[in-house]
């Protein structure tokens, strides 16, 4: 395997040299095929149970709404407990839910309300699975194959999208509406078996108690807000998905109204998108050697704008199929670059939480964009909506260009352990807080501007690890004496900060410490809010609370 990695370091197939990735990827594709069959069956079943457009639309809403409701919570949970165990438990529950639904459909006992409830439960399971699945990818392949692994995951989704709906239609017509649910239930067993087989690499155990759930969610939001790369990735994601959602939202109407086709043509168009995505994924390693990720996203955005223009102006089936091939290639190019940037921006301890925010932004922008472009198409027509979306995508790409994406090994999140444990005079309760840390520097006055610039990076590092207040002060009596402070919510939060300091954090701190006077070392002080249990006796205070 080592020899293969050396021979094919940038091959699009390289992740398949790692057996864990190959097994889990295959199981996921099988499960996604089952999920697409399930979704098609649910939509078709609702047209029989309650054929109003509202009820049919509610099936899709019940599938996607849990992403908005539970993605952040799912990300926090995936960082707090074993991701493998979480995936196994949720997958087993999805199996039970789907199997029960299949039984009800076989028995003819399903009502519109029952179908929506089961669909919502399945959507909730998918919401809890998504961050954990994405977060385990770096455990399956080495860092140099991460980009190809992310692209291959996109390929798997598009393969299942091409196979699942067509297979569902054939099965429903041949043997009945209940069978796609039964097949989907079996597909969950395939995933469960693969997860039971997989043994993730061991991670270093912490001697600190696990984070509390709500604190973990706040930590994930705080890290994402303080990470420049994550902010840039999310901004670029919004700029792309908000406008490109017009392609997906209006595609059924293009097939039916603009091209005067039926379900078969719509299936061919979706298949062309899948084929284009597969081809694009295997071209990505070569393209990544020639173009940085920002350029690839720009190329993908330009290509998608061209697709929208073609669909708006050329009313030909062959042109639509060629445009769909290009759309699939552009989609996988941009989506994989954004996903890789998010993966590389996050250390393992907060990876699932950060990715859950990325997923929320993705679904939120796609949902909002779909609503907007549907309304625009209703009032101005489908071609006009597509042309406006194409122009908007290009303008958004230009405006967001200054927010750069990450690629390669730019950030090293490996734990460094360069912070010594704080010295304490007595045992401190872990939940005691808040904690204020001060660091006193002595620098040359001529280095003040450069030092302050370096401290901006250190400020962001402190905030990513939990500091909710930060400041830098200069002594008016002693030139060059600078005092930094930052505040964290508890003693255990500060101890976690010590454990999580990475090579990257060390590099950031060293940029500031290079201006420290060589004759002295920075003076670090840890301060705790007074312990309420340690109050003076009543006879030691005056009536107004001041000391006697």
Question: Each residue of 428-437: pLDDT tens digit?
Answer: 888 888 999 9
Q: Is the pLDDT of residue 136 over 70?
A: yes
Q: What dihedral angle (degrees, nearest 10) is formed by the CA atoms of 474, 479, 480, 482?
A: -20
Confidence (pLDDT) at 2 = 40
In this structure, are residues 288 and 10 in contact, taking their beta carbons and an 8 Å threshold? yes
Q: Is the pLDDT of residue 6 over 70?
A: no
Up-side HSE of residue 262: CA atoms within 13 Å toward CB? 1
Confidence (pLDDT) at 547 = 42
**Residue 105 to residue 95: CA distance in whole angstroms:** 15
**105 closest CA partner among 53, 183, 169, 192:** 183
**237 closest CA partner among 64, 83, 387, 354:** 354
In this structure, are residues 342 and 407 in contact, taking their beta carbons and an 8 Å threshold? no
Confidence (pLDDT) at 1 = 38
Domains defined along the chain, listed by start: 10-199 (1.20.1250.20), 215-409 (1.20.1250.20), 435-528 (3.30.70.100)
Question: What secondary structure letter does DSSP report for 449?
Answer: H
Mean pLDDT computed over 420-429: 81
Mean pLDDT computed over 144-172: 79
Question: Is the sign of the CA dihedral 437, 442, 447, 449 positive or negative?
Answer: positive
CA-based max dimension of the chain: 93
Q: For strand 469-474 and strand 523-528, is the pairing parallel, antiparallel, or unpaired?
A: unpaired
Q: Is the pLDDT of residue 400 over 90?
A: yes
Residue 150 neighbours by CB distance under 10 Å? 27
In this structure, are residues 353 and 75 in contact, taking their beta carbons and an 8 Å threshold? yes
Mean pLDDT computed over 95-122: 92
Percent of the chain with pLDDT strictly greater than 90? 38
Mean pLDDT of the chain: 85
Q: Which residues of 500-512 are buried (b: 16+ CB within 10 A; e: fewer)?
A: bbbebbbebbeeb
CA 480 to chain CA centroid, Å, is: 43
Confidence (pLDDT) at 118 = 93
Confidence (pLDDT) at 11 = 60
Confidence (pLDDT) at 412 = 81
Least confident of 63-67, 104-108, 329-333, 400-404: 63-67
Confidence (pLDDT) at 265 = 76
**Residue 12 to residue 333: CA distance in whole angstroms:** 13
- Helix (H) / strand (E) element for 65: namely helix 53-80
Least confident of 39-48, 326-335, 392-401, 459-468: 39-48
In the block, residue with structure tokens 């860092």:
143
Q: pLDDT-derived band of residue 146, with 50, 70 and 90 as boundaries? A: confident
Confidence (pLDDT) at 95 = 95
Mean pLDDT computed over 265-280: 79
The pair of structure tokens assigned to 317 is 């089936």
Q: Is the pLDDT of residue 180 over 80?
A: yes
Q: pLDDT-derived band of residue 52, with 50, 70 and 90 as boundaries? A: low
In this structure, are residues 357 and 220 in contact, taking their beta carbons and an 8 Å threshold? yes
Percent of the chain with pLDDT strictly greater than 70? 91
Mean pLDDT computed over 37-59: 73
Backbone angles phi, psi at 516, to 5 degrees: -70, 140
**362 closest CA partner among 272, 280, 244:** 244
Least confident of 67-76, 96-105, 189-198, 486-495: 67-76
- Cα distances from 271 to residues 281, 386, 387, in angstroms, run 15, 21, 24
Q: Is the pLDDT of residue 538 over 90?
A: no
Q: Is the pLDDT of residue 529 over 50?
A: yes
Confidence (pLDDT) at 460 = 93
**Residue 488 to residue 500: CA distance in whole angstroms:** 14
pTM of the shown model = 0.80
Confidence (pLDDT) at 253 = 77
In this structure, are residues 16 and 22 in contact, taking their beta carbons and an 8 Å threshold? yes
């Amino acid at each position: 395997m080592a020899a293969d990695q050396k021979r094919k370091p940038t091959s699009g197939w390289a992740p398949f040299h790692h057996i864990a990735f190959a097994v889990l990827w295959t199981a996921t594709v099988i499960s996604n095929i089952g999920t697409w069959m399930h979704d098609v069956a649910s939509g078709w079943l609702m047209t029989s149970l309650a054929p109003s457009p509202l009820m049919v639309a509610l099936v899709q809403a019940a599938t996607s709404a849990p992403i908005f409701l539970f993605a952040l919570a799912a990300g926090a949970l995936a960082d707090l407990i074993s991701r493998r165990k979480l995936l196994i438990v949720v997958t087993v529950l999805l199996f039970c839910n789907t199997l029960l639904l299949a039984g009800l459909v076989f028995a003819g006992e399903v009502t519109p309300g029952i179908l929506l409830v089961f669909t919502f439960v399945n959507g909730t399971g998918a919401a809890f699975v998504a961050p954990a699945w994405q977060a385990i990818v770096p455990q399956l392949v080495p860092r140099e194959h991460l980009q190809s692994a992310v692209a291959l995951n996109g390929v798997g989704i598009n393969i299942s999208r091409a196979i699942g709906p067509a297979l569902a239609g054939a099965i429903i017509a041949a043997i009945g509406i209940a069978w796609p649910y039964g097949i989907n239930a079996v597909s969950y067993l395939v995933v469960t078996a693969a997860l039971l087989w997989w043994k993730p690499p061991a991670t270093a155990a912490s001697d600190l108690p696990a984070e509390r759930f709500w604190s973990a969610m706040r930590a994930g939001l705080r890290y994402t807000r303080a990470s420049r790369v994550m902010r840039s990735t999310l901004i670029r994601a919004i700029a792309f998905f908000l406008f490109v959602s017009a392609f997906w939202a209006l595609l059924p109407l293009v097939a039916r109204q603009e091209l005067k086709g039926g379900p078969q043509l719509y299936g061919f168009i979706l298949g062309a998108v899948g084929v284009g995505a597969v081809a694009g994924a295997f071209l990505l390693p070569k393209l990544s050697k020639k173009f940085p990720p920002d350029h690839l996203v720009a190329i993908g955005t330009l290509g998608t704008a061209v697709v929208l223009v073609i669909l708006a102006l050329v009313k030909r089936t062959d042109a639509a199929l060629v445009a769909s091939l290009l759309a699939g290639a552009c989609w996988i190019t941009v989506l994989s670059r954004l996903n890789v940037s998010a993966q590389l921006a996050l250390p393992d301890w907060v990876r699932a939480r950060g990715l859950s925010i990325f997923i929320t932004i993705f679904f939120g922008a796609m949902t909002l964009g779909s609503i907007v472009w549907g309304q625009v198409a209703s009032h101005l027509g489908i071609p006009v909506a597509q042309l406006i979306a194409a122009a908007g995508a290009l303008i958004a790409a230009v405006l967001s260009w200054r927010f750069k994406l990450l690629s390669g090994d730019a950030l090293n999140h490996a734990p460094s352990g360069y912070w010594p444990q704080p010295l304490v005079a007595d045992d401190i309760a872990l939940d005691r807080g808040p904690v204020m840390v001060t660091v006193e520097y002595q620098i040359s006055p001529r280095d003040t501007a450069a030092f302050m610039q370096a401290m901006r990076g250190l400020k962001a590092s402190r905030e990513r690890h939990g500091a909710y207040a930060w400041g830098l002060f200069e002594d008016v009596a002693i030139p060059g004496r600078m005092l930094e402070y930052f505040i964290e919510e508890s003693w255990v939060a500060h101890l976690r900060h010590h454990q999580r300091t990475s090579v990257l954090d060390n590099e950031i701190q060293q940029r500031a410490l290079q201006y420290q006077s060589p004759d002295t070392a920075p003076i670090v002080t840890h301060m705790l809010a007074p312990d309420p249990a340690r109050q003076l006796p009543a006879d030691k205070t005056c009536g107004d609370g001041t000391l006697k």
